[in-house]
Every structure is written in C-alpha cells, then in structure tokens.
Amino acid sequence: MIASTVAWRSAARGGLVAAILVTTGALARADETIVVALMDQGMESMHMELRTDRVKAGNVTFNVTNKSQDLVHEFIVFKSDIPIGALPYKEEEKEVNEEAIEAHNEIEDIDPGKSGTLTVKLEPGSYILLCNKPGHFKAGMVHTLTVTP
C-alpha cells in the first residue's frame, strides 16, 4: 500500500512549491490497552469489569488489578467460539479444563490489591477472559471480548 500526501505552500516570492511525501508500507495503528478489574464479594459474587468488550486485532495489553479484599485471582485469555456455558468443566476441581481450551496466555496468582500486565497478539474473533481459581469461573468471574479486523 502506498500513501501519498501533497502539501502546497506559498514560497517567499509568491511562487508555489509542491512538496510530495510518499510513504510505503502499511499505515501503523496504536496497540490496544484494556483495563481489567477482578472484583468479588467473597465466593458468592464475582465478576470482571472491562472498560471495553471490543478491540481491534493486534497487540493487546491487559492491565489487570485484583480488587479483592482477601482472594487470589488469575487472568486467562483464549480464543473460543464455544459459548461460556459449554466450556469443558472439571466438576471435582471446580475449574475449566485449561488443557482442553488451550489456555496459554495468563497471569497467575494475582494477590489482593496487586496488579499484573499481559500483552497478547490477538487475531479477529471471539475470546473468553476468565479466572480459573477453584469455583471462581462458576461464581461469575468470566467475560467475553470481541476482536475486530
């Protein structure tokens, strides 16, 4: 792709000078950053707050803060077209089967009041974000994210 811009300016003696700027290659776009808060009121009520649920494809940085008073959380990102309710779940462990969903992008063990950062290159599609500490997923600590071209 070639982008060109023609800028005209008046010269000191009244003449016109054309300046041509030619740039080759794709136009750059800024990477995306998503602020995430992991929140709970004990095991009874858990959720994830995001400032957005839609980003453009590319490098996405998740700034994740555990706002819990006393529970450790984690943050997992994976691409999935499976509805949240149909994710493979291990009842005995009370967690999503991470091997089955191929969860490779995560921040483990975020202590209460602490933060972590994860940068992942995301392709267009549907993603699921979750905490997979025992019981946390079923208690509501899960969110979807749409990545657009």
Q: In this structure, are residues 139 and 45 in contact, taking their beta carbons and an 8 Å threshold?
A: yes
Give the global pTM: 0.77
**Cα–Cα nearest to 129, from 65, 66, 79:** 79
pLDDT range class, residue 15, cuts 50, 70, 90: very low
Q: For residue 61, is pLDDT > 90? A: yes
Beta bridge partners of 145: 127
Q: Is the pLDDT of residue 2 over 50?
A: no
**What domains lie within the chain, and their CATH numbers?**
32-148 (2.60.40.420)
Token digits of residue 52 = 């957005």
Q: What is the pLDDT of residue 104?
A: 82
